Amino acid sequence: MESSKKQTLSIKVDPFNTDFAKRWSWMSLGKTLLNAAELHAKNRGFGMYNVNSENCTWVLSRLCVEIFEMPVVWDTVNVCTWIENIYRLFTDRNFSIKGADGKVYGYARSIWALIDYTTREPQNLEQMYGDDFGGFLAPEEECPIRKQGRVKPLDNDCWVKDIKSEYSDIDLNGHVNSIKYIEHIMDLFPMSDYENGRNMSRIEIAYMSESYYSDILSLYKKKIDDDVYEVEVRGRKDDSDSTLSQMNTLVRCKLFFK
Amino acid sequence: MESSKKQTLSIKVDPFNTDFAKRWSWMSLGKTLLNAAELHAKNRGFGMYNVNSENCTWVLSRLCVEIFEMPVVWDTVNVCTWIENIYRLFTDRNFSIKGADGKVYGYARSIWALIDYTTREPQNLEQMYGDDFGGFLAPEEECPIRKQGRVKPLDNDCWVKDIKSEYSDIDLNGHVNSIKYIEHIMDLFPMSDYENGRNMSRIEIAYMSESYYSDILSLYKKKIDDDVYEVEVRGRKDDSDSTLSQMNTLVRCKLFFK
């Protein structure tokens, strides 16, 4: 029996949710984390529809995923999520990613804020749900991956390319989807970086601000060490008045390959 | 009980598999069709792994999907697939897309060929599986949408943009994924074309040839009538020697909005 504090979303790695090497795609993995989070929240009365009715929305602030072994086509995967902690303005949500036989594929950590639609101000979570978040905190659950570090801004000369956000980038929250950034970031690397069994093993992402339909996203990349890269995404409106100084930092992240 | 001729893949429309309007995304819908097709074939001994071992692979030649009403977030969807017919070199596979309560969301038709990896020649299906395809033909099943028509080549002045195929475009068959073309094609339309309840209701696609990692894809678009468009995708290798005359037609399609 699953405890009332935890929620599991079970999926099968369908063939067209894999990459060229028949490994579960990071896009499908990332979306499954968000889907599990929303299922957990919805079933406990604080899903996106619940908070929307209070003029609020959940915003993903940090996401760190570490994969020891990537599931492959036809594997069954159980993504389990729970809330580790709440602070005044943030909550820590963790995930385990396991096989049907209990095999550990990886873990993830995330940090969320609840913001007011109108003021964009983060809400005091302790006031809304109590300091035990309605009794759903599960700090005793194990999430044995290290927390993510800070990523510093990259220099302008790390610029790689600009892309324009399109219809397919936008999710039901009306902004560029958090996981779609991962797709754009992974596309900065040549196919050869994913060949011969090599894969991304860990990603740490800080979501700094939101971007919207038809924004111009500028991607910057820097090699930090063997198999370690930093990527930054900055955004601006697509109008001729925009200047570089009007660019917002949207995302900073660090990627580890092995 | 499901007949041995049909296979159903049940999914729930998870929140992050929707578009900005909380409708099931065409990307997720399209991949679910392919996943259902592969599940049907695999369970009957002619899935991609079975035919790979005979140095062959299934190639999608035509796809036509018509949606009367698009499922929305949290809906349960049953995608059922069966083989309508085989010819010497092609097989017709159909799909129904229904709700848990039997509500009809839409239907799809597809045409596939089995090609030899080495020679790229289509194989004689009647020789391999018999003229009843191993007893799995189900021509009695209803697929009440019209077959797709021919789409003529578009003029060069219909060119909209070039994109380069990236890591995320490539699927486990090693080529640009058939459904990923739909994402690129839908991104040719401004968000306003999808707003106010408007959606794509039918797509007819002819897959003419394959493209691979780092190919340059050129997209052409033409308005045919109110709410009807044709799109063509041509491809070339990304090298300085390529000329327009070396472009292959990859995809021709017709889209209907309502």
Write the pLDDT tens digit of every residue in B79-127. 999 999 999 999 999 999 999 999 999 999 999 999 998 998 999 999 8
Q: How far is Cα A133 from Cα A46, in angstroms, rounded to an integer?
A: 10
Residue B242's pLDDT band, with cuts at 50, 70 and 90, is low
Instruction: Give the Cα-Cα-Cα angle B210, B215, B219 (nearest 5 degrees).
Output: 80
Q: Which residues of A touch B32 (CB under 8 A)?
A: 14
- Say what percent of chain A tops pLDDT 90: 90
Q: Determine the pLDDT at residue B244.
A: 59
Q: Mean pLDDT across the stretch B199-208?
A: 97
One-letter amino acid at B19 equals D
- Please name the residues in contact with B102: beta carbons below 8 A apart, sequence gap of 6 or more: none
Write the pLDDT tens digit of every residue in A100-117. 999 999 999 999 999 998
Strand partners, B202: B66, B256
Q: How far is B118 from chain A (nearest CA, A)?
A: 19
Q: How far is Cα B74 from Cα B71, in angstroms, rounded to an integer?
A: 9
Q: Determine the pLDDT at residue B1.
A: 47
Q: What is the dihedral of CA A148, A153, A156, A161, to 10 degrees?
A: 30
- With an 8 Å Cβ cutoff, are A34 and B25 in contact? no
User: Is residue A200's pLDDT more than 80?
Assistant: yes
- With an 8 Å Cβ cutoff, are A14 and B21 in contact? no
- With an 8 Å Cβ cutoff, are A186 and B168 in contact? yes
Q: Mean pLDDT across the stretch B165-179?
A: 96
E strands within chain B? 7-12, 56-67, 76-86, 91-99, 104-116, 159-164, 200-207, 216-225, 228-236, 248-257
Residues A6 and A81: beta-carbon distance below 8 Å: yes
Q: What is the mean pLDDT of chain B?
A: 94
Q: How far is Cα B173 from Cα A2, in angstroms, rounded to an integer?
A: 38
Interface subset of B 46-105, CB within 8 angstroms of A: 48, 73
Residues A64 and A145: beta-carbon distance below 8 Å: yes
Residues B158 and B222: beta-carbon distance below 8 Å: yes
| A211 in reach of chain B (CB within 8 A) | no
Strand partners, A226: none
Residues B193 and B185: beta-carbon distance below 8 Å: no
Residue B128's pLDDT band, with cuts at 50, 70 and 90, is confident
- Please name the residues in contact with B128: beta carbons below 8 A apart, sequence gap of 6 or more: B114
Write the pLDDT tens digit of every residue in A202-255. 999 999 999 999 999 999 999 999 999 999 999 999 876 656 567 899 999 999
ipTM of the complex: 0.94
Instruction: Give the Cα-Cα-Cα angle B170, B95, B192 (nearest 5 degrees).
Output: 65
Q: What is the pTM of this model?
A: 0.95
Q: Which two tokens stand for residue A106?
A: 């990886």
Write the pLDDT tens digit of every residue in A142-167. 999 999 999 999 999 999 999 999 99
